[in-house]
Structure 1
Amino acid sequence: REYTIYHRGRTIDGTLQNDSTTEQCIYNTVKPRSEKNNRKHIHSLYEKNIHKYDTSACGTYVTIREIEEAIKDQVSVPYTMYIRFRLSIPLDDILIFSGFTDYPNSLFGDLKIKFKINPNAFVFAQVNPIISMAKYYTMNKTDLMASGPDKLKNIDLLFRNWSLGYQYTMQFTQMGCTADLITKISIEQITDSGLKYLMCSINPVTLSIKNYVVTEVTANMSGYKATDNCLQRRVEAWSFPISATTTGIRTSQNIPLSHITDLCLLFPKDARATCYENPCYHNMQVTTCGRNFPDMPMNTLDQQFFQMQLNASNLDLLFEATDEFEDALTTPRNTASRRLNPHTDLTSFVII
């Protein structure tokens, strides 16, 4: 959340950043697909890692059985449970480190970074129950075969009757916010002859971090050198003076600009620092120093807007955008009559 960098005992000016979570979110959003796919335990993609119960995810998996065991003797709400996980902080996601150039066979020397973890920046998501059950069956196949046919029949019933219509939240949700999650899956016998039916309960669930304890910190860095120019780079966040309504937002704000390299717009629905969705606005336009960007008002779901965002992020030629970033730029969340629940993560939206 906050960090300060020291080099040989001296504070490096220009690196005091009070909202480094937003800084890293912006920088990480526009990273190409190849870099995220190759960095295990650092970047988690919902469709590629989390929803498929992949072991390369950054974070930890918590089973429903573990939750049941932790809260079975608790009588008051909210329930609490202890979770231990490893947190990887890629230093080159911090803006100052992103400007470093590679120097082979050299080290920083006495470099120290002092940081505070922002508990509100953590996210959670529910995995695909079918993938989870398939992995469970693969890992425990011998025991299941020896336990008799009933468990195998129940697993087969789950595979054959699982419906894509179960409307649980299929995307990342920030800690402290509410998502519709599967809280119970059961097999109910509906006839005396043994006919069974798959039951799935979906309820709104809010997860939050009560407190945390850092038990171990390690870092691996080599071969980088900072220049004076990159040491002065920083991200400044400015909020709109008014909130958006159901009909959109029309506002203006005077912001002093000097030596600006990138201008980004984020649209949080609430007090978020990590997950941002497409506001699906029409006639979107920003006026800066008497110039309009883009030249014509644009729809945030338009094909031209999509191409402009890829160009601005250098993801249009050599580097390829992730599916999550593309979907966040092109998939609407609702219509005039109902809110949609897409089968993809749409929380990587940012206007550059």
Structure 2
Amino acid sequence: MNIDFTCRNWSLTFQYTKQFTHLICTADLITGLHAEPLTESGLKNLICDIKLITMSIKNYVITEVTANIAGYKATDACLNRVRQFYSQRPFVVPAQRVEVWPFPMSATLAGIRTSQNIPQSHVTDFCLPFPKDARATICFENPCNQKMQVTTCGRNFPDMPMNTFDQQFFQLQLNVSNLDLLFEATNEYEDALTTPRNTATLRLNPHTDLTIFLIILQCQRNSNGALTFEVLDNQNQNISVEVKGAPIYQGATDSYYNVDTSGKRPPPPILCTVHDTFWLFSPATDRN
């Protein structure tokens, strides 16, 4: 088929948003196509009729559940020795506590700049999801920002501003997720970090699920060329945390600020703080 001949008199400007979305959130549904004259020479514009719908689910059946768990094999004799050792001794299990802090202000046409005062106690990591709907809880996409940085306690994380599509940012996220050596990232995770969503003139509709994006920043500092990991601890006193960034491509093609074609804007970004903590278990007592 001669594509050039077929499309010679058509302007293919589809005005709709194709994306994976969270159930109970809104989405674009194409209800029809029609042509409108564009020029006197016969050029026509192919227009999509769009209806905004809310995705929901009435019923579901779980048919299979699988889990891949990495660990070390221990013999029964080894497990019995461990049980015997701790039967009369308390023991500590290291753990992490995650606290969620939505920022007060949403992104604007110029980008993101918002801050809030939160208590910090033994903070080891900052996590930044960027929801496109206030009801979304697991679907987060790349905001396609540059010059992005978190500032708190007089320090910047990371030291240099980030571009969420460059190689340095990609490697940073693999490192903090322990996916740079023994364990490998899934294709979906790599796609979410590397697949462009727009250009200066076009908004790109994805063909794969890109909704597992999350920025993770470890609390680290550069000490004489070596990275030192440490916690942020202000004795639970409130201190300002600011996040800022600018769109890589500003305007109509900004896929984060322009959630859909109906003028919907994203809610504020979210800050998750990860805290070191522990569980203390006492020996089991006989209640007979």
TM-score by length of 1: 0.40
Point out which structure has higher relative CO (alpha carbons under 8 A, 6+ apart): 2
More helix by share: 1
Larger strand percent: 2
Which of the two has higher C-alpha Rg?
A: 2
